[in-house]
Amino acid sequence: MRLLVAGLLGCALLAAPAAARADCGVSGPSRAQAWRAELLARTPVSAHPGGPVRGSLAPDRVGALLVLAVARDAGGRCWLRVRLPARPNDAAGWIAADRVTVSPTPWRIEIGLRQRTVTLLRAGKPVRRYRAVVGASGTPTPRGLFAFTDAYRGRDSDFLGRWVLSLTAHSDVLERFDGGDGRVAVHGRGGASLRDPLGGAASHGCVRLSNPAISGIVRRIGAAAVPGTPVRLTHSG
């Protein structure tokens, strides 16, 4: 999975103030629509609009980011508060809107951990619902509003299956796992992962879908448009 450049985590740990309303042509996510921010070049990240730079993001390391809020600085420049793929799981930072290309997406994923289902929505309306494997009791899948950061094509026979859709989320229990930093993903099933039936709670925190199911999600959204798509994980659903 792609890694953030050094220095980003320090920015992520700083609390960001609530955004003022700004007419920048972009808004925070709703159930019907969200905005994706694709980087044009290495982009500074600040703790607040127009504030000191605390880190940076590179386009070859981050596909796209989910826009959470919009504000203007004292000079009238538009800034976007974006979800960062860093700890803690609600990590966010501010980037200048003129450093990215923004595009709306009608797609949204809602994952119900109690029901162990993944629902694909378009413009707020359910399109498909799939059974899934979620985190075991000792390594639960984290809850919150996250976003996909990347989409990797695999093989059906791989443990992670046909597609791996990385999330901004990290495990609440595992600081490190399998050589990585505990990032969570939605992925397919293959090899040994087929031993755990759909509808169960058996993973280390990732959400597993059948290969046809995750392929259907990627096909509908489009692989290039998967990064930045919002993903809400709740216990109640």
- Walking along the chain (237 residues) 10 residues at a time, the average pLDDT comes out as 36 39 80 94 94 91 92 95 95 96 97 97 98 97 96 94 96 78 93 94 96 98 97 88
Which residue in 11, 24, 187, 204 is the catalytic one?
A: 187
From first CA to last CA, the distance across the chain in angstroms is 28
Beta carbons within 10 angstroms of residue 195's beta carbon: 9
The residues, any chain, with a CB within 8 Å of residue 76's CB and separated by 6 or more, are none
- The architecture in CATH of the region 107-234 reads Beta Barrel (2.40)
What tokens were used for 90?
């609600």
What tokens were used for 9?
């985590």
- Annotation says 235 is catalytic: no
DSSP notation for 44-89: EEESSTT--EEEEE-TTT---EEEEEEEE-TT--EEEEEE-SSTTT
44 has which bridge partners?
A: 56
d(CA 197, CA 212): 15
133 has which bridge partners?
A: 208
- Annotation says 187 is catalytic: yes
pTM given for the model: 0.88
Q: Where are the domains of the chain?
A: 8-105, 107-234
State whether residue 11 is helix, strand or coil: helix
pLDDT of residue 173: 87
pLDDT of residue 17: 39
83 has which bridge partners?
A: 92
pLDDT of residue 15: 40
